[in-house]
């Protein structure tokens, strides 16, 4: 998603905007159990930790489109 949309979503859910490169931003929400939920325009993914996020290995994902 673009940076403007990402900032709006991040404000609503209490997350952080992360520029994943190429002008594409994700919104990351760090949960109390240490897992990370990543939101994009097309998918929402849950990652075990930062390492799994960097490697692109989600535990779960929901396709939105």
pTM attached to this predicted model:
0.91
CA-to-CA separations, 20 to 28, 32, 33, 48, 50, in angstroms, rounded: 11, 23, 23, 18, 13
pLDDT tens for residues 12-65? 999 999 998 888 999 999 999 999 999 999 999 999 999 999 999 999 999 999
In the numeric block, which tokens belong to residue 12? 């609503």
Provide the edge-to-edge strand list for the sheet that holds 24-30: 16-21, 24-30, 36-39, 43-47, 60-63
Between CA 47 and CA 5 the distance in angstroms is: 22
């Amino acid at each position: 998603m673009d940076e403007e949309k990402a900032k709006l979503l991040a404000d609503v859910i209490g997350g952080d905007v992360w520029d994943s490169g190429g002008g594409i931003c994700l919104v990351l929400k760090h949960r109390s159990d240490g897992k990370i939920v990543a939101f994009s325009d097309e998918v929402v993914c849950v990652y075990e930790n930062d390492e799994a996020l960097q490697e692109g290995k989600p535990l779960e994902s929901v396709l939105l489109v």
